[in-house]
Amino acid sequence: MRRAILVTVPLALVVGFAALLHGAPPKPAPKPPARPPLPLPKIALLGAFSFEVTDAATGARIPAKLTFTGVDGTRDPAFTRGDIGREEEGGIAAYNRFWTGSGAGALPLPVGDYEVVVSRGIEWDTTTSRVRISASAPAELRTALRHVVDTRGWLSADLHVHAAKSSDSRVPMIDRVYEFAGDGVELIVSTDHNVITDYSPFITEAGLDRELTSIIGDELTTNGWGHFGAFPLPESLEHPGGGALLVHGRAARDFFDDVRRVAPEALIDVHHPRIDTEIGYFNVGQLDGRTDRAGRAGFSFDFDCLEVLNGYQDPERRSIDRVIDDWFSLLLHGHVVTATGNSDTHHLTYNIGGYPRNYVAVADDRPAAVRPAEVARALKAHRSLFTTGPFVRLTVGKAQLGDTVRAPGGRAEAQVEVQAAPWVSVSDVRVYLNGREVERVRVPPSTARVRLQRTFQLTAARDAFVSVRVDGDRPLTPVVGDAKRFTVYPLALTNPIFLDVDGNGRWDPPDPHGAHAP
């Protein structure tokens, strides 16, 4: 016997099904709310802008940098929002700057009012102009710059530069050429990560051989010891990385030895030694400067230079002071290495190429006359200083930076001259003897070329070294930095002159246990 199964169906479903069988239309779906109309894209009206920059002394056009800042409600222009410059006639535009290699050109600008600062690096003055860009009439700017800082006999050089061959940079090498020429840097050392690169073809392509030269180098980028600049190096296009040295999985002393073997004239510059615990050599090597001991096996003191100021640390005085102390400790313990300052630039904004830069003493300071081996020898001999703005001359008698001079009775006279362009501030000058501050002079505000010219009387009980530091208290904005995300202040540091007090014809490092006693 079959049992009946009773199924209960909701009344609404029965009614709905019946309506469907009889063709009744279903209830319409609720209407979505109307969307507001999309705003029309704002199209910036453009106007024409042309310029000419000349040398006030000769009337000749010169490379320069134009920095645009919007005023009276106008936004700063954004020629690019990335690190690949926009090519314009005779130069490149990026962010709110234009670097010209020819000294003349034209470019479109959004309609509005702008302040335009024209500069050519720290040896030149600047001009500031207001321009109004309209869609109906072209705007022109003609200006002349004066070369105001006397650097005869010195070559300006950035020894730590990255471009698109580095995995963490996108800047084309030709863009770097225009940038460095426009900012008055005369020598680029290529230091891309574990690859050999050569700027010379790009310098020739831009027609800037008289303004700029280059040295082939490499940043030895390790996975456990830090980063190191090495130059000059041979380029080998048949080998991976252009012949870059093998560094991964090896101790510092091993790849230092390789540099000495492959390129005996090359120097090794320790980059950003305290920047962090992963790529700062002194941190990963566990170096205690006061005791002159490294806690990690494989550490080597066989380097020639120490990057005391790295461009990423321009705004950080405490970081700089720490590395200056490291450098003094090395000298006091007999590791006579040269202090350098380099931009470590990876971009076309923030740490601008050439800030800081080194000044290297050479026989002929025309870029086309400079030879890589001569630059390396001068740096190894400590004949250099680094700066973001002021230029410093330090002499003891006829002795120049890097020289050893007799100091009978432990007495010596140090002559210090500080020059600066009008837009660069100088506020403090410090004289160090064996790493200890023995004189400090407060410099009043001024726009004169020579900010300080003074002789300092020094007294040392034993052999000593003398060095000078110069600081400025006003940022370099807008020529360098923007005073918002990145601020750069004037800072310069000379390499030492060595005082032979005991008369044995050489400089002997002080007793490490009395390290900071002059």
Q: Report helix, strand or coil for 16.
A: helix
- The alpha-carbon radius of gyration of the chain (Å, integer) is 30
Give the chain's count of helices (H) and strands (E): 7, 30
How distant is the alpha carbon of residue 437 from its chain centre?
Answer: 27
Q: Is 95 left (phi over 0), alpha (psi -120 to 50) or beta?
A: left
pTM beyond 0.85, yes or no:
yes
Q: In the beta sheet, which residues pair with residue 197?
A: 217
For 333-346, write each residue's pLDDT tens digit: 999 999 999 999 99
Place of tokens 């230091």: 191
Q: 486 with 350: CB under 8 angstroms?
A: yes
Whole-number pLDDT of residue 269: 98
Whole-number pLDDT of residue 2: 37
pLDDT of the chain, 518 residues: tens digit per residue:
433 333 333 434 333 433 333 344 445 555 555 555 555 445 568 999 999 999 999 999 999 999 999 999 999 999 998 999 999 989 999 999 999 999 999 999 999 999 999 999 999 999 999 999 999 999 999 999 999 999 999 999 999 999 999 999 999 999 999 999 999 999 999 999 999 999 999 999 999 999 999 999 999 999 899 999 999 998 776 566 777 888 988 999 999 999 999 999 999 999 999 988 789 999 999 999 999 999 999 999 999 999 999 999 877 777 899 999 999 999 999 999 999 999 999 999 988 999 999 999 999 999 999 999 999 999 999 999 999 999 999 999 999 999 999 999 999 999 999 999 999 999 999 999 999 999 999 999 999 999 999 999 999 999 999 999 999 999 999 999 887 888 999 999 999 999 999 999 999 998 654 444 44
Whole-number pLDDT of residue 19: 39
DSSP per residue, 464-511 = EEEEEEEE-SS--TTTS--SSS-----EEEEPPEEEE-S-SSS--PPP
Q: 215 with 241: CB under 8 angstroms?
A: no
Whole-number pLDDT of residue 238: 57
Domains annotated on the chain, with CATH: 46-145 (2.60.40.1120), 149-380 (3.20.20.140), 388-518 (2.60.40.10)
